[in-house]
Amino acid sequence: MASLKIHPPQIVHHMAALDETPAPPNSLARVQASLERGAAVIEIDVNALAEGDYVLGHEAELEAETSGRGLALETSPQAVRGLFIRHGGVRTGYPVALLSDVVRLFEEKGGKTVLQLDFKNAVPFTSDEPLLRLVDLIAPLGEGVIVSSGADWQLRRLRKLAGWLQLGFDPMWYISWQPAGTVRDPRDYPKRLGAYGYYDDHLLATGAYWPASTYLRDRFESLASLVPDVSAFYMEHWLLAQSLRDGFNWAEALHQRGILLDAWTMDASSPGAMENLPLLREAGVDLFTTNTPLALAGRLGLGASR
C-alpha cells in the first residue's frame, strides 16, 4: 500500500510537476505523466465545487486558471467539464480536471504513489457536506492519500469526520522567514516582522525575551498541537534553514512526535533552494516538494523521482 516514508527522502511533484512535460500545472495529463514516471508523491490543489466534486486548481476564482468565470464554490461539476486550463495567461487545450478523475486514475495506475491534496478552502463551510464529500471521494485510496492545508480548523474538522485520514499541516500563516529584500504581499499572514527576525503575529515575537532557539521550540510546541494525529508538516525551506542557523531543528523535533517534515518549494532552478538543500537533508527533512522532480532527484542522488 502507498505510504509516506522517512528514509530515503521522497520527492513531491508540486501540482503534478514533471520536468519535461508540456502539460500545465494541476492537469490530468501531468498527473498521468508523473504516475508513469513512478513518482513517490504527487501533490495537486483542490477547491470545492457547489456540489458533488472538487476542481483541480490553486485559486478559488475560476478565471485565474481556467476559461471559466466565477467562484468554484458556486459552480457545478457539469459546468467545469466544458472548461480548459489557462496557464501563463493563455488558454491551453488541456481540460480542467475534477478530483474524481484523479482518484479513478490512481485506482487504475497509482501503484505505490501517494496522492497529496493541498486543500485550498480556508474559509469555514456553513455545513460539513463539502468535507464529507471530500472524504467520500478519496476513501477508495485509503492510506494512499494525505490532505494538507494551512487551515488547521479545516483539518481538525476532517479529523473528527474521518479518523483514518492522513493529514498534513502548513504553519505558514503562523510563522515564516524571508530573505532580506523579499517583497511580501500585504495580504499575507503573518503580517508582522517579529523581534527574532521571523514573521510572527504572536505576542512572544514582540520582544527578544529568550534565545531564538527557545522561542522556536515554544512556537513548535504550540503549532504541533493544532491538528490531532497530524502525519506531516509542510514548511518553506527558508524558514527551516534559518531555524537551523538559530539552533532549532524542526525535523528532529517533529520526528520525536512521529511527524514527517516536507520542505517546499525546492526547485533545482532556484539558487536559494539549492543552497539550502544539503543543510535540510542533513537535518533530516523527509520530503522535498519541487517543480523539477527529475533534476532534484539527481541532486539528491535518488533513482527516478523518488
Alpha carbon separation from 204 to 15, 150, 236 (Å, rounded)? 35, 21, 21
Q: What is the pLDDT of residues 220-264, one digit of tens each?
A: 999 999 999 999 999 999 999 999 999 999 999 999 999 999 999
304 has a pLDDT exceeding 60: no
**Which strand (E) or helix (H) includes residue 93?**
strand 90-95
What pTM was estimated for this model as a whole?
0.96
Question: What pLDDT shows up at residue 6?
Answer: 55
DSSP type of residue 145: E
**Per-residue pLDDT tens over the stretch 200-224:** 999 999 999 999 999 999 999 999 9
More confident residue, 300 or 306: 300
pLDDT confidence tier of residue 4, bands split at 50, 70 and 90: low
Residue 132 has pLDDT above 80, yes or no: yes
Residue 129: C-alpha distances to residues 122, 133, 145, 157, 176 (Å): 15, 6, 20, 12, 32
Average model confidence (pLDDT) across the chain? 96
Superfamily of segment(s) 9-150+161-169: Phosphatidylinositol (PI) phosphodiesterase (3.20.20.190)
- For the chain, what are the domain ranges? 9-150+161-169, 174-300
Q: How confident is the model at residue 1 (pLDDT cuts 50, 70, 90)?
A: very low
* pLDDT tens, position by position, 139-184: 999 999 999 999 999 999 999 999 999 999 999 999 999 999 999 9
Q: Return the closest-CA partner of residue 297 out of 11, 94, 71.
A: 11
CA distance linking residue 249 with residue 280, whole number of Å? 9
pLDDT score of 20: 85
- What is the 3 state secondary structure string of 224-271? CCCCCCCCEEEEEHHHHHHHHHCCCCHHHHHHCCCCEEEEECCCCCCH
Say how far apart CA 46 and CA 105 lie, in whole Å: 16
Grid cell of 93 as nine digits: 487545450
Q: What average pLDDT score do residues 89-101 get?
A: 97
pLDDT of residue 8: 78
pLDDT digits (tens, 9 = 90+) for 6-38: 567 999 999 999 998 999 999 999 999 999 999
SS3 (DSSP) at 192: coil
For a pLDDT cut of 90, what percent of the chain falls above it? Answer: 94
